[in-house]
Amino acid sequence: FIVVGFVVVLGLGGVAYYILRHWPGSGGVTPTTTITERVTTSTLVAGVTTGMVHIESVPTGATAFVDGRPYGKTPIDVHQLAVGDPHEVKLELDGSTPWTQPITITAAQPRAEVRARLVPLPPAVGTADVRSTPPGAQIKVDGAPAGLTTPATLDKLKPGPHQFDITTAGYEPWSKRVAVAAGRTARVEAVLVPVATPRPPVITKSTTPAPPVAPADDPRIYNTTDLDAAPKKISCKSPEFPREAPTLKPGQRASVTLSFVVLESGDVTDVQIVESAGSLLDEAVSSAFRTCKYTPGTKQGAKKKVRLQIRHTFLGA
């Protein structure tokens, strides 16, 4: 009986201990459960080791670099960036100033956003100091009238070689190709040669009259100020904005300035770019104006070749 009683006491004690440990509000298992949940939450946050950045730019199409590595054109998402480390986003686009910004990606905010408005580069231009002997001669640059007479300083010239033509009445035309450097002034000095005085014809007696001589074609290309009547446009294809060109935003504009010659027939030839807006827009405007038809310019009733200069502007919609 003593042994049986001892076993019964031990059993009742175990039941009482179990009830006390699991009774609601007794503090038995609830603290353990709470601690387990907190550890689990902390482990999930600490497990975020990489993040991403969304990059946009105005205009679009800029090359995006992160930490010096190129990833593609904007807009773009760049993934697998280490959390907690500093990163640098850099954007490059032809014709715009490079743009950089540091970013930091955290476990709490694993997604960063970058929006950049790129600033166009200032145009690199040079100048030319143009003089002639005698002074007062007309100046053309790349076939287009400069609207000035010598001596004159021409600014906003693109770097590179330019054709300078100097002309005045009674002197042979002068022409030379001169290189212009950005931020520097090129010197153009023309010493004009007088036109040779024609010898008087020798008169000889002849019973046979000389055949009439057909007038030679006038090779000169005139300015509109030299004519009695300037050319007028009859028909012309309207330039279309190329699909491949970057879209212009509202308020943006891009201009192309052309110089071309209107022949005696009214056709257009010798189309040259004076002010560029990029190869795609330049070609769109040039192609359209090659189809134009004009009334020929005239001087004293004779049709003459005339050089015109126009500007076409595309506007963002």
pLDDT in tens, 82-94: 998 999 999 999 9
Q: Residue 119: what pLDDT?
A: 93
pLDDT in tens, 216-261: 567 889 998 888 999 999 999 889 999 888 888 888 889 999 999 9
Q: Grade residue 16 by pLDDT with cuts at 50, 70 and 90.
A: low
Q: Residue 124: what pLDDT?
A: 83
Contact 190, 166 (CB under 8 A): yes
Contact 117, 175 (CB under 8 A): no
pLDDT in tens, 157-197: 999 999 999 999 999 999 999 999 988 999 999 999 999 87
Contact 112, 103 (CB under 8 A): yes
d(CA 148, CA 146): 5
Of the candidate ranges 17-31, 105-119, 269-283, the one whose mean pLDDT is the lowest? 17-31
Is the alpha carbon torsion for 128, 134, 138, 140 positive or negative?
negative
| pTM for the whole structure | 0.34
d(CA 286, CA 267): 14
Report all structural domains of the chain as residue ranges with CATH numbers, in order of start.
50-117 (2.60.40.1120), 126-191 (2.60.40.1120), 221-315 (3.30.2420.10)
Q: Grade residue 123 by pLDDT with cuts at 50, 70 and 90.
A: confident
Mean pLDDT for 1-22 is 49
